Amino acid sequence: MDVTSQYLGRLILGMVTMAGAASLQAQAADGSTSDEYGRTLSALERYRVLADQDDGEILPATKKPVEPGAHYTGVPRVRRLLSLLGDLPVGGIPGDADVYDATLVAAVKRFQTRHGLEPDGRLGKATLAQLNTPLSFRVRQLELALERWGQLPYDPSRRAILLNLPEFRLRAFDTGHQPALEMKIVIGRARGLQTPLLSSELDSVLFRPYWNVPLSIQRKELVPHIKRDPSYISKNDFELVTSKGEVVEQDEVSDTLLAQLRSGKLHLRQRRGPKNSLGLVKFVFPNEYDVYMHDTPAKSLFARARRDFSHGCIRLERATDLAEWVLSEESGWPRERIEETMEGTESTSVKLKHPIPVRTIYVTAMVGENGEVHFFEDIYGQDAALEQELAGDQPADQATSDEPGPHPRE
């Protein structure tokens, strides 16, 4: 994008922001905007002031991460910046000029948490990169977030589920846009298997689902495993089925069997139960990408700060809690019955009487109810695409992956 396009894009964003400020009170009065819009607008105004106040000094690179208690020439700059941003309490007792002391470590951990990093308190490459990011860039993130909130359909009279992809987080809202539930999620890999931006309605919950393996995953990932280890099928609770769903008994892994799996004449299906890749419950909302939300046995991934590990579907940190919330307005589905059904032996599908709106969104600057701002990496390149679209270069929904278009999902 050339200099002229960049200027036009920022000019348009500035105009959008001014219009938002002028009409926010009216929007809030008629219920056409969410609380997030107002909070983002306030944070944007604050960060514009901070960007003007910051001296912009660049921290020196290090060969190894700076550990707590170590000497580092960039300590004064870190202290100034984090005091400006509010991560370091105002009036704290300054330590030695270049010692990375405990008070500053605690402030860095807060900064890391707010910027989607592992809060380990070490000044490593990723943390230094975030500390060296100009506050003018944070202003731009907030401008783009404001643009996205302004475009988001909003009906406070209905319950809703929002999944913010770069934040790796799900939020469920009761009527009146009242926060009801929040949890971590795992989304599609940034390279080639991105979770799409979509709008749909959750209409059914399936307990103890089978996993019918998509042919692309079967060919590229599972067949090589089976070829190396013939016991892979049984060890992972897979069974062989025909295109009609008929189970095929096969004791020996032969070249013929592998060829049938590659061609799609035979399919792999994972049996219901705790080893199933979809876990014990699946949440279905119709969409062209065949994406859905589901439980997972791979719980350890939720401890990671960055969580783009799936083939495109959305894995849930606390699927039982979501099932309880989703079914809370359905007669006869208390948590006890949900847990019993998940631990049962058969698949059970529940059709919702009142479908719930589900939207995947892409906001890299989230403002909490307390005004604290969290920033996230533009892992799918959607912010860059929106900025180009506002400058008139390309549509915002242009695919940014190296394999554009819908992909087979989990």
Number of other residues whose CB lies within 10 A of the CB of residue 320: 16
**Helical axes 75-85 vs 35-53, angle rounded to 10°:** 140
Question: Residue 192 — left, alpha, or beta (φ > 0 → left; ψ -120 to 50 → alpha)?
Answer: left
pLDDT band at 396 (very low <50, low <70, confident <90, very high): low
Considering the domain boundaries, does residue 231 fall inside one?
Answer: yes
Considering the domain boundaries, does residue 326 fall inside one?
Answer: no
17 vs 266, higher pLDDT: 266
Catalytic residue numbers, as ranges = 294, 313
pLDDT average, residue stretch 147-152: 92
pLDDT in tens, 212-235: 999 999 999 999 999 999 999 999
Distances, alpha carbon 302 to alpha carbons 12, 163, 168, 352, in Å: 38, 15, 9, 28
Considering the domain boundaries, does residue 145 fall inside one?
Answer: no
pLDDT in tens, 230-254: 999 999 999 999 988 899 987 788 8
pLDDT at 176 over 80: yes
The overall average pLDDT reported for the chain is 88
pLDDT in tens, 68-82: 999 999 999 999 999
pLDDT in tens, 289-320: 999 999 999 999 999 999 999 999 999 999 99
Q: Name the phi and psi angles at 269, rounded to 5.
A: -130, 130
Q: SS3 for 281?
A: strand
Q: How far apart are CA 172 and CA 152, in angstroms?
A: 15
pLDDT in tens, 343-376: 999 999 999 999 999 999 999 999 999 999 999 9
Considering the domain boundaries, does residue 240 fall inside one?
Answer: yes
- pLDDT over 70 percentage in the chain: 86
Residue type at 128 in one-letter notation:
L
Distances, alpha carbon 174 to alpha carbons 157, 160, 251, 351, in Å: 9, 7, 51, 19
Show the domain range for 216: 211-270
Distances, alpha carbon 167 to alpha carbons 36, 54, 310, 362, 363, in Å: 15, 26, 15, 8, 8
Considering the domain boundaries, does residue 223 fall inside one?
Answer: yes
Structure tokens at 173: 């809202």
Considering the domain boundaries, does residue 403 fall inside one?
Answer: no
Q: SS3 for 271?
A: coil
Considering the domain boundaries, does residue 194 fall inside one?
Answer: no
Residue-level pLDDT at 404: 36
pLDDT average, residue stretch 109-129: 97
- Which has the minimum average pLDDT: 20-34, 143-157, 186-200? 20-34
154 vs 329, higher pLDDT: 329
pLDDT average, residue stretch 117-131: 97
- Following DSSP, what letter does each residue of 176-242 receive, concatenated? TTEEEEEEEEEEE-TTT-PPPP-EEEEEEEEES--EE--HHHIIIIIHHHHHH-TTHHHHTTEEEE-
Number of domains in the chain: 1
| Contact call for residues 86 and 373 (beta carbons, < 8 A) | no
Q: End-to-end CA distance of the chain, in Å? A: 36
Residue-level pLDDT at 393: 65
| Contact call for residues 375 and 279 (beta carbons, < 8 A) | no
pLDDT band at 23 (very low <50, low <70, confident <90, very high): very low
- Which of 341, 300, 306, 301 minimizes the C-alpha distance to 320? 341
Q: How far apart are CA 99 and CA 76, in angstroms?
A: 9
Residue-level pLDDT at 182: 98
Question: How many helical (H) and strand (E) elements, i.e. helices and strands, does the chain have?
Answer: 13, 15
Considering the domain boundaries, does residue 221 fall inside one?
Answer: yes
Structure tokens at 130: 């975030």
